[in-house]
Amino acid sequence: MEYLRVKKLKARLVGISVMSVLTFALLGVSAPLARAIEYGGFGGRPAFPRADNPRTESIFVHTLNPGDVQEEGVLTVNNSAERKTMLVYSVDSTPSTGGAFACEQLSETKDDVGAWITLEKSEVTLEPGTNELVPFTIAVPTNASVGEHNGCIIIQEKKEQKGEQAGMSLSFRTGLRVAITIPGELERKLEIVGFTVTKRDDGSFLLQPKVKNLGNVSIDADAQVITRYFFGLTHFTHGGQYPILRGDTSDWNFELKKPFWGGWYRSNFIVEYDKNPEAGVGVKSGKELTRLEGPSVWFWSFPTPAALAIEIVILLALAFGGFLFWLSQKRKRWIKENWVSYEVKSGEDIKSLAERFDVSWKLLARVNKLKPPYALKTGEKIKVPPAK
């Protein structure tokens, strides 16, 4: 009796354990796989983004008339683990290589948007995980020209001078673009000025399209390079939406990994942009986009070793198949040209004829298109191999 109770208790415990493990595993798996992502660093973001332009969440965008004054603010942020003193200043924009947007240095003379901005503070000290609003004004001069003008609000860590140190010393900063459009006759026009494909030492290719902005405002262009196989199937598409600054030529470096199969490939460059005057920085006109197509560039890529092995096997199989086909055609032709007509005599059937002419009965049936049960009538004429 005692033994039975202990046995039952054991069984119950095992049951509880199994159920616990199973449920635990199930709950563990179905629980959201949340992982903390640490967003360190310091910088800033626009303090007053507008609902009508999502772009204002990351940059400052305004359409202002000459003489206007715009109140704005930048939220300086310190997400690092230590107290930081940061310089906050405005500068003009400058084109970086490839036509990318960049900001001038603090040491450079300001004569555009950088000079229009007056910040209430030039320096903030923030404890870890805190932020502070720095208000500023944008005062557009009365002689500002029509079109888009760009500048930056910069947040840069203030570092103590450690004296002259040999080598290259680095500073880091975060810039927020300030795009001011002065209304008037705004021109939005792009032109494709080049597209090259360069083979690199590792077998990959560098696809470099170039686009020039001929207008007086920046344009967010959707630049795409589509690489196709010889037969037209798409192999890879590179690209994205990039701002092309007024008067600048933008170029991009898209890396195409060495194609696995090798062979001839063709890359096409396509640009789409909103040419309509209602469009602006972060604003779409909702009308049809203008599409520009650049020249096609053909290039050869040698197959990878694995692809080469596969291709050789396929080629050999194809060659062997072709040889067999050629052989069967040759035999058919020989049969057609050399087999002679024969009249079936009484008592002869396909088997006896096959033996007599030293040929397989299947071949005899196939050549004479005989169907099962392959019966032959006396006097019927069939084709047989020539007598040896």
Partner 1 sequence: MIRKALGKLNIAIALTLAVVMTGGLGGATYVLASSTSNFTQTINAGTLAVDIVDASYVTVGSPTMAMTAATFSFTCQTITGSFGTASQQIYVKNPDAADAGWVVSLAASAPTAVWNSVGTDFDFNEAGSAGCVDDGATTDADAFGGQMTVNPSAGTLAVGQCTSCVVTNVSKGSSAAFVETTTNSITVLTGAALSDDIGDWKLTGVSISQKIPKEQPAASDYNINMVLTITAS
Lookup: tokens for 126 = 């923030």
Counting contacts by CB under 8 A, is residue 58 touching partner 1? yes
Range in contact with partner 1 (rule: CB under 8 A) among 36-44, 141-149, 310-318, 348-356:
36-44
3-state secondary structure of 307: helix
C-beta of 186: minimal distance to partner 1 in Å?
19
Residue 100 or 359: which CB sits closer to partner 1?
100
Query: Binders of partner 1 among 265-284, rule CB under 8 A?
Result: 282
C-beta of 222: minimal distance to partner 1 in Å?
8
C-beta of 139: minimal distance to partner 1 in Å?
23
Counting contacts by CB under 8 A, is residue 239 touching partner 1? yes
Which of 6, 16, 312, 319 forms a contact with partner 1 (CB under 8 A)?
16
Which of 129, 183, 295, 322 forms a contact with partner 1 (CB under 8 A)?
129
Counting contacts by CB under 8 A, is residue 12 touching partner 1? yes
Lookup: tokens for 153 = 């609000």
Q: What value, to the nearest 5°, has the Cα angle with vertex 153 and ends 150 and 155?
A: 150
Contacts of 116 (CB under 8 A, 6+ apart): 138, 139, 140, 141, 149, 151, 180
C-beta of 325: minimal distance to partner 1 in Å?
45
Residue 205 or 339: which CB sits closer to partner 1?
205
Residue found by looking up tokens 């095992």 in the block: 14
Which of 6, 7, 10, 20 forms a contact with partner 1 (CB under 8 A)?
20
Judging by beta carbons within 10 Å of its beta carbon (0-12, 13-18, 19+), is residue 290 exposed, middle or buried? middle
Which of 65, 105, 122, 378 forms a contact with partner 1 (CB under 8 A)?
105
3-state secondary structure of 108: coil
C-beta of 285: minimal distance to partner 1 in Å?
17
Q: Which residue type sits at 150? A: N
Which of 41, 141, 203, 321 forms a contact with partner 1 (CB under 8 A)?
41
C-beta of 16: minimal distance to partner 1 in Å?
5
C-beta of 193: minimal distance to partner 1 in Å?
15
Lookup: tokens for 263 = 């062979």
Query: Binders of partner 1 among 287-346, rule CB under 8 A?
Result: none
Counting contacts by CB under 8 A, is residue 1 touching partner 1? no
Query: Binders of partner 1 among 341-380, rule CB under 8 A?
Result: none
C-beta of 147: minimal distance to partner 1 in Å?
18
Counting contacts by CB under 8 A, is residue 107 touching partner 1? yes
Q: What value, to the nearest 5°, has the Cα angle with vertex 250 and ends 146 and 104?
A: 65
Tell me the sheet residues that pair with 60: 178
C-beta of 64: minimal distance to partner 1 in Å?
20
Site string for partner 1, 64-93 (x = CB under 8 A): -----------x-x-xx-------------
Query: Binders of partner 1 among 211-230, rule CB under 8 A?
Result: 220
Query: Binders of partner 1 among 139-178, rule CB under 8 A?
Result: 152, 154, 156, 164-177
Counting contacts by CB under 8 A, is residue 246 touching partner 1? no
Range in contact with partner 1 (rule: CB under 8 A) among 26-34, 65-73, 326-334, 370-378:
26-34
Residue found by looking up tokens 């975060």 in the block: 174
What Å distances lie between residue 381 and 12, 341, 351, CA to CA?
A: 88, 6, 16
Rounded CA-CA distance 283/280 in Å is 5
Counting contacts by CB under 8 A, is residue 206 touching partner 1? yes
Rounded CA-CA distance 139/151 in Å is 13
Residue found by looking up tokens 């003008």 in the block: 149
C-beta of 41: minimal distance to partner 1 in Å?
3
Judging by beta carbons within 10 Å of its beta carbon (0-12, 13-18, 19+), is residue 369 exposed, middle or buried? exposed
Rounded CA-CA distance 130/135 in Å is 17
Rounded CA-CA distance 280/220 in Å is 9
Whether the CB-CB separation of 72 and 60 falls below 8 Å is answered with yes
